[in-house]
Amino acid sequence: MKLWSISFAYRLGLGFHALNNEGSDGSNLMQPRRIDVGSVTYDGISGEIVRRHILENFVDVCRSQTIAMLPLSEGLHPDRGPIGIRAAARNNDASAVTLDASNLFPSVRAAIEKCAVLDAGGFLAAWKDAQGGANAGNYIAESDYINRCCATIGGVDPVKRESCFDVAWLISENPQDLTVTQHSAFRDTASMNSRYAQSMRSNTYGGVIRADLHRIGTDDYWYLQNGQNRLAITPEEQKKRQVALIEAIINFIASPTGAKTAGWAPHVFLTEGAILLTSARTAPFASPIKVDLTKKDTPVQADSSYAKTMEDLNNNTDTWVWKFNNVKELLEKISQIKAKLEG
């Protein structure tokens, strides 16, 4: 078994963007996410935002390549995990109206088989939480789909599948001294405009992403089912899902999107980095930023050696590294990585 894994270390120059405006200071002025390093505050773009947009790209790639997905996953519904497993239970056995200990793990396996998003993105099916509180069992928007297609919840415990990929925060390389503010709505009164304003920032950001490709298509609970293989899909389908996830990650770096996609597209003035693919271990990476807490005023700095550090790991045997200095070079790497995976 090859331990296919891939890592990305990259720098993005983002001008006039609001990719992760989520907070406020009490004035209704939307503020970018921030990271405190020592006593200095830097701008950040959360890993969850990046992850969300990688999954959006992943859904698009899967749809274009007819890779299997369940309907709520294709819509990136927040409860796609638990509802998808219930749908898989009913699909496995139309008479199985209840999800219980007898069919839970075969249903989880079936959900992985039927849905690349649940497979690569992971889920937490917290059954007991879903049943508690004032709205116990009350999925209003999805009730018709659930009643037609899903088993009811019996006496089962929560189950979890870890995602096959993880994403680090993007962090700016310099503290932000200037604020560029853009009004997101206009009122003909200066006093009210501040209620509809949000900050836009410009900076160079460093980030890392890693995906354990060999986990794609595997059943985390195979050992609880007699005679089951760990791989829940065919090797050919596994390869398609692996390439689709790589393409989704590359698509995000090539065209970064954020929490708001209605007029907040950044002016991207830098795209560079390195991609490391290995068949032997979890992919290592070198961060494009370095943190030195002894430097009180500038604890975060760019590390210009990161791409060279990754390149030195290339051995052309079980580890390959590609550098890219612009979007064109980045996009060209998809076919080269695919060739290695299919090699």
* Whole-number pLDDT of residue 193: 55
Mean pLDDT of 38-58: 93
* Whole-number pLDDT of residue 130: 45
Residue (of 302, 304, 300) closest to 34 by Cα position: 300
Residues 170-201 have pLDDT tens digits of 999 999 765 666 666 655 665 655 556 778 88
Compute the distance between CA of residue 2 and CA of residue 313 in angstroms, rounded to an integer: 18
Contact 69, 84 (CB under 8 A): no
* Whole-number pLDDT of residue 55: 97
Compute the distance between CA of residue 300 and CA of residue 280 in angstroms, rounded to an integer: 32
* Whole-number pLDDT of residue 306: 97
Residue 111 predicted with pLDDT over 90? yes
pTM above 0.85, yes or no: yes
Between the alpha carbon of residue 155 and those of residues 98, 131, 217, the distances in Å are 9, 11, 27
Confidence of residue 316 (pLDDT cuts 50, 70, 90): very high
Residue 139 predicted with pLDDT over 50? no
Lowest mean pLDDT among 58-62, 162-166, 209-213: 162-166
* Whole-number pLDDT of residue 127: 66
**Single-letter amino acid, residue 63:** R
Strands (E), 113-243: 123-125, 152-153, 159-161, 165-167, 170-172, 180-183, 197-211
* Whole-number pLDDT of residue 333: 97
* Whole-number pLDDT of residue 214: 97
Can you say whether the dihedral through the CA atoms of 274, 275, 277, 281 is positive or negative?
positive
